[in-house]
Chain A
Amino acid sequence: MKRIIFLFLAAMAMAACSNGGKGETVSLMPDYGDITIPCNIAPLNFRVTGVSTFDVEIKGQCARYGFKGHRGLVCFGLKKWHRMLEAEKGGTLEVTVSARTATGEPFERSFTWTVSADSIDPYLSYRLIEPAYEVWNGIQIEERCMENFSTRLLGDNSRTDGCCMNCHTSNGGGTSFMHLRGSNGGTVLNRNGRISKVNTKTEMSGGGVYGDITADGRYGVFTTADITFAMHSRPDMRMEVYDKRSDLVVIDFDSLTASDSPAVSGADFQETFPCFSASGRTIFFCRARHLPQPDSTSSMHYDIAAVQFDPETGRVGNDVITLIEAGQRLSFSHLKASPDGRWLMATAATYGTFPVWHKESELWLIDLRSGAVDIMKNANAYGADTYHSWSSNSRWVVFASKRDDMVYGRPYITHIDENGQCSKAFVLPQRDPMLYTNTMKSFNIPELYSSPEGYGANEVERLYKDAPLEQVSYRR
């Protein structure tokens, strides 16, 4: 009985004083200090731990803006926030947070927000999943508006027999795909509003996994791989995913035909993570010489390679050029070319093809004009930085980073200027940033695009359960 009474009293006490406890260190969460932000980003609400009420003064070139923080949280009004960003576009905001701590000591912290005139694509999709080996009981793919906090579900696997769902990928121009696994699965293809379920597996090629779509939406290039999971015995390494074999296949969505080429398939090399160049005339991909798996997984070092592609005929060229050799200490993955054709971004890890659980993984930026490589020191941090996505104006990149706790991924945003200089990355703002602490889901595979996806979880469920599977055929 005493225990219950104690619990009740403790509960009430916790409810009464959840903020501003004596002796708590004052800090800002998340770290939004000295960052560059898009002119259309949602309010950067933040928490100040250790104080209850505080003032936020924002000094811009046009005006001063005052905000109040209550219960440790400042929630900027949406209209006021966007008016402020519009007025201060291209300028720098000086932000000052001031408060008195529970012990009466004054606290003040100042930092800057540079408001970039470059806007970010207004929609972001990401997958919400527990960060574990085979936990796909609760996968959701969510679409978030970057200009406010509204979200909606694109897919929810509790409504599709618990099947795994992954890789929501958009070309930013009305075409997107998302893979549904399971008995009724297939690739959900959205071509300018026409949604269908496609079986990309043919009698000669495997089903598509990682992929990309040309800007006009006609072609998709995919990895076809025999993917295997394994665990590490070291506690800090968790799990590994490797391909026993992998090739590339190009799918023409107009004719629903798949084709490959000896240059990007065969037993000698393993090819993966393909992406089209902005012109659609080159396919970039990662390639490593085949080694027996899993014994040699830690010896798999993927280079960055390229091959010509003819959008008129849908044929892949025969000559593969290695753009960057990985050597014995690196392995590249997750290639994404910027829509303006200037940059190629890749994830660099020490080995293998699944950097998500490699804490050393970081983003690299390759200048396709000069071949110069930037290791993006401003944006990277220890803790896997992976799965990046370009904004359609090539000025913003969103990526998943586990830097905060090494386990749970969160979407981080960085600005890339015309010279390829990246800014300090900041986490996607939330109405209440405590969402990141309280959630047990990892934000994974973020993808930017400019218009809302044409379907939702209801359509995906219907598609999964009722829609006929459109079969891709192999073209010799």
Chain B
Amino acid sequence: MPNTPHFFVSLPHQACTINMRKQNILQSLLLPAVCLAAFMLILLCCSRYCMAFKEQISIFFFGPGCLSRYAGRPALLASAIGDLLTRFFIAEWAAVAISMAFVVLLWLGICRFMHLVSAGKSCLICLVPVALECAFMTFPNYPLSASVGLVTGMWAAVAVAGVKNGGLRCAAYLAGVPLLFVLAGGPASVLFALILVPVLGKYGIRHVEFGLSNFLLLAVSVGLFCVVEHLYGMHSGRAVIYPVTSGYIIPAPALVALNPVLLALAVWVSALIPGMKTIAIVPPIVSLAALFALKSSGNLESSIRIGSLAYHGEWDKVRETALGDGGSRYGLYFYNLSYAREGKLPDGLLSVTQSRLSDGLFLSSERGESYLSSFYWSMGLLEMGDFPQANDAALLGQTVMPGGYSSRMMRTLAEIAVASGEYDVALKYLDILSRTPGHAGWASALRKSLLEDNLPERYVILQRRASHNTDAMFAQGDIRTSLRNIADANPANKVAADYLMCSALLEKKINSFIGMYERWYNTNPYRSAVVPPLYEQALLVNVNSRESLMECARRYRLSQATVDRYMEFLGDQADAQGNLAKLKKYSDTYWYYIMSVNLIGKEDR
């Protein structure tokens, strides 16, 4: 053993007994495998929609200029590979499988590295950063390219650690730090810089040392990193986490920078303190559990799940999920939207417990709202025929995404452009989407139908909902004024009118509802052809006497069935003496809703 002033560790060569061998197998194969399988199971059960959502908030397109999008930014290779592989996240299980493949590659990289530097088997403590990586993966805006980058950094370290010539190893180290930043991003570069420090000394890779020269090399590599980040016009805070970008979903993106540090630390701790090996199984599991618990209580997953089901057109599942999720805002919104798409918003309104403030009807894309709100709101605005605001929400939804591109929003933008008759820009979006795996078929078919002037029926219906003839201005975000303009200008748009009227009903603004009914339904043969039972019920809600009931029925041409049921309700209501349980059989009626909601609209005071 060379005589050296540096802190020095040399790990014993294997002279194992059978028991030790069994223990080694347990530590090096079985326990990591169990842990990794557990991680996968948790991802699959708890976060598969969040992970699959990455496909919707990014894009990769082939063809001319496809790579120029990545030029001028760090993590060139990792971003391109990550975005390409993310296309396959269109199926949830594929999202989990591909992500886990990178986790396994990371783990194998750690094992190989530790084997190379004679640290023996990889220690289970190294599963902590691996677990952390798994936890990050569950955040929708932690791109796959970040994992690709980290794995690249790990395996680059393996490659350099394998270089026997010390000088060459140092040269490769110094070149590798900036190069990895360019190709794989900040975390890869940080990991590479830190993990290799102790094996840069003159004694070779079998000797771990923390001498002055090692730290000098580290300092030089940090300097090189700073030079390169400056060339990209970045500051260190952003550079060390790139391709992860700040904001929106990951609450503290700086944590991402911790992962490579933790990984390097874990590797060297396990090398220096072999005694920790047997108890180290606890931290990865505890940390993983804690991170999952911290991440969310499942709200984000369920919000993304219902939004994804709607995006993929699985409206039956949307209704099913909404009924089961206890009346979340997005659940109600998509539930109502599923009926509005069919022009039957009032029919489904009271089949689920609605928010009394119309939260389940309207979202918003204004500042301060969740990015999901912009994402989802564009779908609703499209159905309502408010194309300018739908366009705005979709563009906002796309802009807030990490890469500034979103395949889902681009599809929505294409749909809005087709619906509003802006075919030139629709073709731009469709041109990009037709080069995007997963959307090419849809985009090419729509493009073809656009060029042949043979639009699918859905777009013909949407086009009819627009307010093409008259124009009115309104403040952005003022959805009620906007819908009123559309409903006034376009009798063919029943959806806009229904949204406003249902909103008035949920908020118990009966007078306002009656005003709208008389304006849009009672005088309009197109709309009054079939009056929804909900509206008939609402028209009767303030009627107390038999005479006024007959008058009301005559005036609004109410169906006999509704009139009979209301009379029956009045009788039962008197018997129930305010006990709602006795009126359960009317729970699908507006009369029941108005009794059950303890909110009095301003108009009724």
Complex contacts, B263 vs chain A, CB 8 Å: none
B395 touches A132 (CB 8 A): yes
Known: A18-B64, A47-B64, A438-B65. A231 touches B399 (CB 8 A): no
| A201 within 8 Å of B (CB atoms) | no
| A435 within 8 Å of B (CB atoms) | yes
Complex contacts, A236 vs chain B, CB 8 Å: 420-422, 468
Known: A7-B438, A14-B435, A134-B392. A234 touches B62 (CB 8 A): no
Complex contacts, B388 vs chain A, CB 8 Å: 133, 231-235, 237-239
A130 touches B485 (CB 8 A): no
Complex contacts, A91 vs chain B, CB 8 Å: none
Known: A405-B428, A432-B64. A130 touches B399 (CB 8 A): yes
| B431 within 8 Å of A (CB atoms) | yes
Task: A159 to B246: give the CA distance in the assembly, Å.
Answer: 11
A131 to chain B: closest residue by CB? B395
| B90 within 8 Å of A (CB atoms) | yes
Complex contacts, B485 vs chain A, CB 8 Å: 233
B467 touches A456 (CB 8 A): no
Complex contacts, B417 vs chain A, CB 8 Å: 407
A134 touches B471 (CB 8 A): no
Interface residues as binary, B555-575 with A (CB distance below 8 Å gives 1, 0 otherwise):
000000000000000000000
Known: A7-B438, A10-B437, A137-B399. A233 touches B474 (CB 8 A): yes
A47 to chain B: closest residue by CB? B64
| A404 within 8 Å of B (CB atoms) | yes
B65 touches A434 (CB 8 A): yes
- Give residues of chain A (183-206) contacting chain B, Cβ–Cβ below 8 Å: none
- Give residues of chain B (421-438) contacting chain A, Cβ–Cβ below 8 Å: 421-422, 424-425, 427-428, 431-432, 435, 437-438
B483 to chain A: closest residue by CB? A233
A406 touches B233 (CB 8 A): no
B233 touches A231 (CB 8 A): no
CB-contact partner of B90 in A7, A137, A234, under 8 A: A7
Min CB distance, A232 to chain B, in Å? 5
A11 touches B437 (CB 8 A): yes
A138 touches B473 (CB 8 A): no
| A153 within 8 Å of B (CB atoms) | yes
Complex contacts, A294 vs chain B, CB 8 Å: 473
| A88 within 8 Å of B (CB atoms) | no
B472 touches A138 (CB 8 A): no
Task: A73 to B68: give the CA distance in the assembly, Å.
Answer: 14
| A3 within 8 Å of B (CB atoms) | yes
| A4 within 8 Å of B (CB atoms) | yes
A72 touches B440 (CB 8 A): no
Known: A231-B389, A235-B467. A19 touches B437 (CB 8 A): no
Complex contacts, B230 vs chain A, CB 8 Å: 458
Task: A4 to B420: give the CA distance in the assembly, Å.
Answer: 33
Interface residues as binary, B493-506 with A (CB distance below 8 Å gives 1, 0 otherwise):
00000000000000
B371 to chain A: closest residue by CB? A137
- In this complex, the member of B91, B230, B367, B399 whose beta carbon has the largest number of chain A beta carbons within 10 angstroms is B399
Min CB distance, B243 to chain A, in Å? 14
B65 touches A432 (CB 8 A): yes
CB-contact partner of B489 in A8, A11, A233, under 8 A: A233
A14 to chain B: closest residue by CB? B62
Task: A133 to B388: give the CA distance in the assembly, Å.
Answer: 9
Known: A237-B471, A457-B233. A438 touches B432 (CB 8 A): yes
Task: A137 to B589: give the CA distance in the assembly, Å.
Answer: 45
Complex contacts, B399 vs chain A, CB 8 Å: 130, 132, 135, 137-138
- Give residues of chain A (205-252) contacting chain B, Cβ–Cβ below 8 Å: 229-240
A406 touches B424 (CB 8 A): yes
| B239 within 8 Å of A (CB atoms) | no
Complex contacts, B404 vs chain A, CB 8 Å: 138, 440
Range of interface residues on B (Cβ < 8 Å):
35 or more
| B190 within 8 Å of A (CB atoms) | no
Known: A235-B420, A440-B405. A135 touches B233 (CB 8 A): no
A134 touches B233 (CB 8 A): no
| A419 within 8 Å of B (CB atoms) | no
| A71 within 8 Å of B (CB atoms) | yes
Known: A8-B88, A230-B475, A456-B233. A406 touches B422 (CB 8 A): yes
| B48 within 8 Å of A (CB atoms) | no
Query: What's the tally of chain A residues with a CB closer than 8 Å to chain B?
Result: 55
A231 touches B65 (CB 8 A): no
A134 touches B396 (CB 8 A): yes
Complex contacts, A133 vs chain B, CB 8 Å: 388, 392, 476
B472 touches A238 (CB 8 A): no
| A437 within 8 Å of B (CB atoms) | yes
| A15 within 8 Å of B (CB atoms) | yes
Complex contacts, B489 vs chain A, CB 8 Å: 233
B391 touches A18 (CB 8 A): no
Complex contacts, B419 vs chain A, CB 8 Å: 235
| B124 within 8 Å of A (CB atoms) | no
- Give residues of chain A (119-161) contacting chain B, Cβ–Cβ below 8 Å: 130-135, 137-138, 153, 156, 159
Known: A47-B64, A235-B420, A432-B65. A408 touches B428 (CB 8 A): yes
Task: A233 to B385: give the CA distance in the assembly, Å.
Answer: 9
B60 to chain A: closest residue by CB? A11
Complex contacts, B474 vs chain A, CB 8 Å: 230-231, 233
Complex contacts, A71 vs chain B, CB 8 Å: 64
A16 to chain B: closest residue by CB? B62
A10 touches B422 (CB 8 A): no
Known: A130-B399, A231-B389, A405-B428. A4 touches B472 (CB 8 A): no
Known: A19-B64, A407-B425, A408-B428. A232 touches B395 (CB 8 A): no
CB-contact partner of A233 in B87, B91, B440, B471, under 8 A: B471
Task: A119 to B8: give the CA distance in the assembly, Å.
Answer: 68
Interface residues as binary, A417-441 with B (CB distance below 8 Å gives 1, 0 otherwise):
0000000000000011011011010
- Give residues of chain B (454-511) contacting chain A, Cβ–Cβ below 8 Å: 466-468, 470-476, 482, 485-486, 489
Complex contacts, A235 vs chain B, CB 8 Å: 387-388, 419-422, 466-468
Known: A237-B388, A435-B68. A3 touches B91 (CB 8 A): yes
Task: A134 to B368: give the CA distance in the assembly, Å.
Answer: 13
Complex contacts, A407 vs chain B, CB 8 Å: 417, 422, 424-425, 428
- In this complex, the member of B422, B428, B485 whose beta carbon has the largest number of chain A beta carbons within 10 angstroms is B428
Task: A400 to B88: give the CA distance in the assembly, Å.
Answer: 38
| B594 within 8 Å of A (CB atoms) | no
Task: A21 to B398: give the CA distance in the assembly, Å.
Answer: 30
A11 touches B87 (CB 8 A): yes
A153 touches B62 (CB 8 A): no
| A282 within 8 Å of B (CB atoms) | no
- Give residues of chain A (445-462) contacting chain B, Cβ–Cβ below 8 Å: 456-458, 461
Complex contacts, B425 vs chain A, CB 8 Å: 405-408
Known: A3-B91, A231-B388. A130 touches B395 (CB 8 A): yes
CB-contact partner of B427 in A11, A233, A405, A438, under 8 A: A405
B395 touches A135 (CB 8 A): yes
B396 to chain A: closest residue by CB? A135
| A297 within 8 Å of B (CB atoms) | yes
| B12 within 8 Å of A (CB atoms) | no
Q: Residues on A close to B: CB < 8 A?
A: 3-4, 7-8, 10-11, 14-15, 18-19, 47, 71-73, 130-135, 137-138, 153, 156, 159, 229-240, 294, 297, 404-408, 431-432, 434-435, 437-438, 440, 456-458, 461
Of the A-B pairs whose beta carbons lie under 8 Å apart in the complex, a sample of 28, sorted by A's number, is: A3-B91, A7-B438, A11-B84, A14-B437, A18-B64, A72-B64, A130-B395, A133-B392, A133-B476, A134-B367, A135-B395, A135-B396, A230-B474, A231-B474, A234-B466, A235-B388, A235-B466, A235-B468, A236-B421, A238-B391, A239-B388, A404-B424, A405-B427, A406-B422, A408-B428, A434-B63, A437-B432, A456-B233
A-B pairs, 4 with minimum CB distance = A235-B420, A434-B65, A235-B387, A18-B63
Please name 16 further chain A to chain B contacts, defined as beta carbons within 8 Å, in addition to the given A4-B88, A236-B420, A237-B471, sorted by A numbering.
Answer: A8-B437, A10-B440, A10-B441, A18-B63, A130-B399, A133-B476, A232-B472, A233-B486, A234-B467, A236-B468, A239-B388, A405-B428, A408-B425, A432-B64, A438-B65, A440-B410
